[in-house]
Amino acid sequence: MKELSFLNKYLYKYRARFILGIFFVAISNFFAIYPAQVIRAAFDHVAIILQGNTNVQVSNTDLFSSFITSVTQGFSLNQTLMFFGFLVLGLAILKGLFMFFMRQTIIVMSRLIEYDLKNEVYDQYQKLSMSFYKKNNTGDLMNRISEDVSRVRMYLGPAIMYTINLVVLFTLVIYTMASVNPKLTLYVLLPLPILSITIYYVSNIINKKSEIVQKQLSDLSTFTQEAFSGIRVLKAYSRENFSSQNFENECNNYKTRNLDLVKVNALFHPFMILLIGLSTLLTVFIGGNQAIAGNISFGNIAEFIIYVNMLTWPVASLGWVTSLVQRAAASQKRINEFLNEEPEITDISHPNNPSNALIKFSNVGFKYTDSGITALNNISLVLNEGKSLGVIGKTGSGKSTLANLITRLYDVSEGNVTIGKENIKTLGKKELRKMIGYIPQDVFLFSDTIYNNISFGLINCNKEQVITAAKDAAVIDDILKFPNGFETMLGERGITLSGGQKQRVAIARAIIKSPKILIFDDSLSAIDTETEERLLQNLNQLNGNTTKIIISHRISSVKDCDEIIVLNNGNISERGTHLNLIANNGIYHELYNKQLLEKEAEKQLKI
């Protein structure tokens, strides 16, 4: 229960429903107790009537029995049976009514808490840093917010409801039974301590096996998510059968672990039913001897059998409830692991707002904590507002890391990054990112319309702004060729579009907000050089105060920038303008010649 104590704040939040639920549980059980007493009175009264002596008074043990006796005094057999039948029916209806109220309070409460918990988990996911997403796979994240939260809800709803019901019903039944005959009550309840000890040991086994089942379910979800996301690769390499076989293996592992858990429950439940059956036998045998001795009536035996049967489901559900609680504890433990995770990127209590788009790196170094790789080393540069910086280099040279530090997806390991003369760590994350238009290397589009994907960059924008952004991104012609134009629905991750179209839609999404800082993280790679040139010309005509950073492998993308830096193994090996770098005969000049030769070769192939 240690892990589940996290949920106490929600139980307190919905305490009004919770307390009402407990009240309705108690009331419904009161109406569940009385039918057994009606049956007892019916047996005794019918026995008296059949003996022909209607004036004989039955010994009454409570006010309810006295009331029944006074009402049925002088009734014929048919009238007596009719009265008892309607009385049992009326009590059952009242019990059912309060059970309905019980579910409307406790079960609804569990649904409300499920809603709150899912929102809390989702909010936490959004707060966590990029390193968290590198360490955890998507399938596991999805499983914790869906399957794990659903299992926790089963604890908050059915498990709590049936536990309260069990406690109240046991208290009422045992008290009522003891008031009739303590000796018979003792014998009837004799198997229960054995049941309690069994539950104690079995619950530990259930808990361990539940954690294993949940872990395997996460692995299965991850495998499925990756298979569907990479379906094009699977088909391209004709690996469908291989993927199906791996999926079958994962399913078999899940089945095996689930069956281990089911076997425990399968042995546990019959054992409980056996103990309940033993209580019934003791009731009949010992109760019969007590009735013969004149200590109780035969109606009391019927009453006790009903009480034992009333306890059958609550006791039988005890194993199920135990399983629910243990599964919920295992799931909540997994949820708490993420909820207790502290985001690496946090705002200070009173963050500043950036005054302008001047960017300065002062002896910046960065090392990825998860891999230990040093991505940047002693980087210093100044990019004035309204100017453009080209960043070029080989794969793994630290280009994308530079962009991640400016957007503060990561914090520097050494040195300082300042924007508008303010240390980036003192700026509010939201304010900082609002002023940045970022087009990542791995373009992501939502499964929505093209219009909504572009307007995602600016809240409450109008159609004219969307069209203008599409024109500036040189994608308007491609969009209008689609039958539904801007209302064209995109598949998952924008699969409907080509690579170049996806990149340009992502660029339109970034520039629609007229950002003060515009970052292209190798997001022009899938665009042909002619379209690229037109797009860059459009960008040069944007707000003159926009600071642009263009990260690319291609010289054509960065040649018109005010300054170009060449990164090599996390260091700036060269810097200057396009003409200066060519004249230096260094790495930049070498890349320029290679790409020039490739361009000439492409022209020759077209001819």
- Same domain, residue pair 111 and 213: yes
pLDDT number for residue 60: 46
- Same domain, residue pair 33 and 159: yes
Which among 547, 540, 545, 536 has a CA at the least distance from the CA of 383? 547
Identify whether 531 is part of a domain.
Answer: no
Identify whether 94 is part of a domain.
Answer: yes
- How far is 238 from 490, CA to CA, in rounded Å? 25
Domain end, chosen from 339, 362, 384, is at 339
Q: Tell me the H-state helices in 353-462.
A: 399-406, 429-434, 450-455
Tokens of 171: 């208290």
- Same domain, residue pair 489 and 424: no
* φ/ψ of residue 434, rounded to 5: -65, -30
Q: How many CA atoms lie within 13 A of 220 on its CB side?
A: 18
- How far is 602 from 598, CA to CA, in rounded Å? 6
* φ/ψ of residue 542, rounded to 5: -70, -175
| Residues 526, 506 contacting (CB under 8 angstroms) | no
Handedness of CA 66, 71, 72, 78 (dihedral sign): negative
Q: How far is CA 394 from CA 238, 508, 568, in A?
A: 32, 27, 7
- Same domain, residue pair 95 and 239: yes
Burial class (CB in 10 A: 0-12, 13-18, 19+), 165: buried
Identify whether 345 is part of a domain.
Answer: no
Which among 154, 171, 170, 160 has a CA at the least distance from the CA of 19? 160
- Same domain, residue pair 300 and 386: no
Q: Which residues of the chain have pLDDT under 50?
A: 53-60
* φ/ψ of residue 4, rounded to 5: -75, -15
The total of other beta-carbon atoms located within 10 Å of residue 330's CB is 23
Identify whether 605 is part of a domain.
Answer: yes
- Same domain, residue pair 401 and 488: no
Which among 365, 514, 353 has a CA at the least distance from the CA of 422? 353
pLDDT number for residue 62: 56
- Same domain, residue pair 272 and 418: no
Identify whether 210 is part of a domain.
Answer: yes
pLDDT number for residue 316: 64
- Same domain, residue pair 74 and 23: yes
Q: Which domain holds residue 458?
A: 437-514
Which three-class secondary structure state does DSSP give residue 2? coil
In CATH, what number is assigned to the domain containing residue 500? 3.40.50.300
Q: How many CA atoms lie within 13 A of 323 on its CB side?
A: 16
- Same domain, residue pair 110 and 49: yes
Structural element, H or E, at residue 365:
strand 359-367
Identify whether 344 is part of a domain.
Answer: no
The total of other beta-carbon atoms located within 10 Å of residue 377's CB is 18
Dihedral angle computed from the Cα positions of residues 311, 314, 315 and 319, in that order, rounded to the nearest 10 degrees? 170
Identify whether 33 is part of a domain.
Answer: yes
Domain end, chosen from 514, 538, 571, is at 514
- Same domain, residue pair 260 and 379: no
Structurally, the chain folds into a number of domains equal to 3
- Same domain, residue pair 166 and 288: yes
pLDDT number for residue 55: 43
Helical axes 298-339 vs 192-229, angle rounded to 10°: 40
pLDDT number for residue 56: 38
In CATH, what number is assigned to the domain containing residue 302? 1.20.1560.10
CA 74-77-83 angle, 5° bins: 80
- Same domain, residue pair 455 and 389: no
- How far is 213 from 329, CA to CA, in rounded Å? 13
Domain end, chosen from 339, 374, 396, is at 339
pLDDT number for residue 243: 87
Helical axes 463-472 vs 499-511, angle rounded to 10°: 130
pLDDT number for residue 458: 84
Identify whether 537 is part of a domain.
Answer: no
Which among 361, 357, 508 has a CA at the least distance from the CA of 434? 357
